[in-house]
Amino acid sequence: MRTHLCGDIRFGQIGETVSVCGWVGRRREHGEHLAFVDLRDHSGIVQCVINDDVDVRSEYVLRISGVVRERPEGTVNDSLPTGSIEIGDCEVQVLRVATPPPFPIDARADDVDENIRLQYRYLDLRRERMQKNLRTRSKVNAAVRSAMDEQGFVEVETPMLVPSTPEGAREFLVPSRKEPGSFYALPQSPQLFKQLLMVGGVDRYYQMARCLRDEDLRADRQYEFMQLDMEMSFVDQDDVLEAVSASVLAAAEAATGERPTPIEQITWHDAMDRFGTDKPDLRFGMELVELTDVFGDTEFKAFSGADAIKGIKVDGGAADYGRNQLDKMTDRAKGAGAKGLVWMKVTDEGFDSPVAKFLSDVEVGALKSAMAAETGDLVLIVADEWSTTCEVLGMLRNDIGRPPVHEGPYRYVWVVEFPLFVGRDKETGAPKSGHHPFTMPHPDDIDKFDTDPMAVRSIAYDLVLNGWELGSGSIRIHEPELQRKVFMALGISDEEAERKFGFFLNPFEYGAPPHGGFAFGLDRLVAILAGEENIREVIAYPKTQSGQDPMTNSPIPGDPKSLLELGLKVLPQVD
């Protein structure tokens, strides 16, 4: 039907008779005998000069045959790749007339209500931005597959209908018709299947796995999302990081055309200490400064006796933040668990701050020098438990300094040595797993299990890109003794372990190799590489924050006949 794509025609085709197909973008009519039509396909647009009187309107689908020619002097359009040529002597074939679209099929639709864009997603997808995003995603997928294949990984598909598991994210349930009252779950990840593949001798597994979690949606979260899921046998942490790095960097290069720098590493403790988060955005500084010693003997009640005192400095921020904003910042700090937030504006004399009068001259001097603060800077200080101090300042650091997603370099970082346990169960008081209960404890910390369980590190690691958590993984426990020890610390009895995880752990008895793995979110990676703040922009048919699809109107009420067949009865809504 066509000989060329619209956006591909260049000077080299001058004189050739070509046929192109696409949609009518903008048209400029000058009466019956001259009209310019921008014909658009996924590759771009090309100007067609039409001298006949044909009725051609927005988004009509056309096949145009004509001769490529140089544009007359003075009519070249430098803003188009095809701007120095045009197609003349056009024969126009209308393949399909079209109703005017509800919004312009160009960059102006970026401002259109997202609900409308999703309702007419097929029109939204015609736009250059969405075409680019879909193609970036495709390239990333292809690069990841190829990188995994080159490293000897075997792509294995795991089931979508799986048993419900007690731990982790809320699952989507699928009723069984053959066994009314019984349900499958949709997988929140292929975790157990991939570990059993290791028992099965696959050695190196990967999958572009669709994962489903029935948790509330966010800019970086959808009910269904894609992970590069992988698992390796007979490896240590470095082997896994190397394999994942190769894949991620290949994907990044495929998407951006630039080879990223090698991925750096930071321990979880350092990440918290310096950036106040386990997913630090390394594109900007504003690191947390240790101030505990500065106020070691302070008379100021809010500081004295605090477990950890830290501060961040906003260069030249004194003038940018008024009382109102500082109050809001304080509220946010309190909302995040801090007892309060101390702000200090640096002046020539000292500090302008509600608490300045409580500080001695020595403290003021030491603070200034520790923060390297200069006149006009804003200093924010939190004094609290170490983790609260770090987390609150980390949040403020992001609020204040974090650049938009499309800005700055790509800063990949491995966060390693995550704690094995995070927080405690509200009811039982037992520690909770940071990653999952099958994560290998750090060998140097085994002796702390009884004395200081919360200090036990694990062989678990996250991959972070510009402040987004791309994914996480761990070396798994493959020995029963160690697994029992971890279950004990988690307050899980042998009976409970057998009941909850027996189907998963019993196969290990037949010879589980040492193994470990990783999974990273492809949607997030693609979004960042495409410069999008929101993963919905890199998903062809995403759902809204309330889990609806405005195009198909799903979810829809169950058909009574189907419900009957499945043995289901819908109860009235209870408030």
Rounded to 10 deg, the angle between the 128-150 and 522-530 helix axes is 130
CB of 38 to RNA, least distance (A): 7
Q: What is the DSSP secondary-structure string of 138-166?
A: HHHHHHHHHHHHHTT-EE----SSB---S
CB of 71 to RNA, least distance (A): 5
CB of 469 to RNA, least distance (A): 8
Among the listed residues 436, 448, 484, 500, the single contact to RNA using CB under 7 A: 436
The residue among 330, 373, 326 whose CA lies nearest residue 349 is: 373
Q: By rule CB under 7 A, what string of x and - marks binding of each residue 374-413 to RNA?
A: ----------------------------------------
CB of 114 to RNA, least distance (A): 5
CB of 118 to RNA, least distance (A): 7
**Three-state DSSP string of 522-551:** HHHHHHHHHCCCCHHHHCCCCCCCCCCECC
Q: By rule CB under 7 A, what string of x and - marks binding of each residue 242-261 to RNA?
A: --------------------
Which of the ranges 79-87, 149-157, 231-239, 483-491 carries the binding residues for RNA, by CB under 7 A?
79-87
Q: Which is nearer to RNA, 367 or 459 (CB)?
A: 459
Among the listed residues 52, 91, 155, 216, the single contact to RNA using CB under 7 A: 216
Q: Any residues with CB less than 8 A from the CB of 140 and at least 6 apart, and which?
A: 251, 254, 255, 522, 525, 526, 529
Which of the ranges 124-132, 154-162, 290-298, 539-547 carries the binding residues for RNA, by CB under 7 A?
539-547
Distance CA(362)–CA(365), nearest Å, equals 5
Among the listed residues 111, 348, 509, 559, the single contact to RNA using CB under 7 A: 111
Does the protein bind RNA through residue 76 (CB under 7 A)? yes
Which of the ranges 171-179, 254-262, 338-346, 430-438 carries the binding residues for RNA, by CB under 7 A?
430-438
Among the listed residues 152, 285, 335, 560, the single contact to RNA using CB under 7 A: 335
Report yes or no: 540 and 125 within 8 Å, Cβ to Cβ: yes
Q: Are strands 264-267 and 412-416 parallel, antiparallel or unpaired?
A: parallel
Which of the ranges 261-269, 320-328, 344-352, 544-552 carries the binding residues for RNA, by CB under 7 A?
544-552
CB of 302 to RNA, least distance (A): 23
Distance CA(139)–CA(253), nearest Å, equals 10
Q: Any residues with CB less than 8 A from the CB of 329 and at least 6 apart, and which?
A: 321, 341, 343, 380, 396, 399
Report yes or no: 6 and 78 within 8 Å, Cβ to Cβ: no
Residues 126, 127, 130, 131, CA torsion sign? positive
The residue among 419, 440, 312, 292 whose CA lies nearest residue 366 is: 292
Does the protein bind RNA through residue 52 (CB under 7 A)? no
Does the protein bind RNA through residue 80 (CB under 7 A)? yes
The residue among 404, 302, 299 whose CA lies nearest residue 343 is: 302
Does the protein bind RNA through residue 324 (CB under 7 A)? no
Among the listed residues 128, 220, 385, 445, the single contact to RNA using CB under 7 A: 220
Q: By rule CB under 7 A, what string of x and - marks binding of each residue 17-46 to RNA?
A: ---------x-xxxxxxx-x-x--------
Report yes or no: 241 and 545 within 8 Å, Cβ to Cβ: no
The token pair that represents 28 in the structure block: 């400029």
Distance CA(244)–CA(416), nearest Å, equals 14
Which of the ranges 347-355, 372-380, 429-437, 440-448 carries the binding residues for RNA, by CB under 7 A?
429-437
CB of 542 to RNA, least distance (A): 8
Chain-centroid distance of CA 442 in Å reads 28
Q: Any residues with CB less than 8 A from the CB of 413 and at least 6 apart, and which?
A: 263, 264, 265, 266, 271, 280, 282, 463, 464, 465
Does the protein bind RNA through residue 299 (CB under 7 A)? no
Among the listed residues 12, 168, 316, 502, the single contact to RNA using CB under 7 A: 168
CB of 414 to RNA, least distance (A): 19
CB of 508 to RNA, least distance (A): 15
**H helix or E strand, kind and range, residue 44:** strand 44-50
Report how far apart, in Å, the C-alpha atoms of 148 and of each of 97, 109, 231, 249, 311 are. Answer: 45, 37, 11, 12, 43
Residue carrying structure tokens 């771009």: 44
Among the listed residues 121, 137, 204, 213, the single contact to RNA using CB under 7 A: 213
Does the protein bind RNA through residue 189 (CB under 7 A)? yes
Does the protein bind RNA through residue 103 (CB under 7 A)? yes
Q: Which is nearer to RNA, 90 or 302 (CB)?
A: 90
Binding footprint of RNA on the chain (CB under 7 A): 26, 28-34, 36, 38, 47, 49, 51, 57-58, 71-72, 74-77, 79-80, 83, 86, 88, 100, 102-104, 108-109, 111-116, 165, 167-170, 188-189, 191, 213, 215-221, 335, 432-437, 534, 536, 544-546, 548, 550
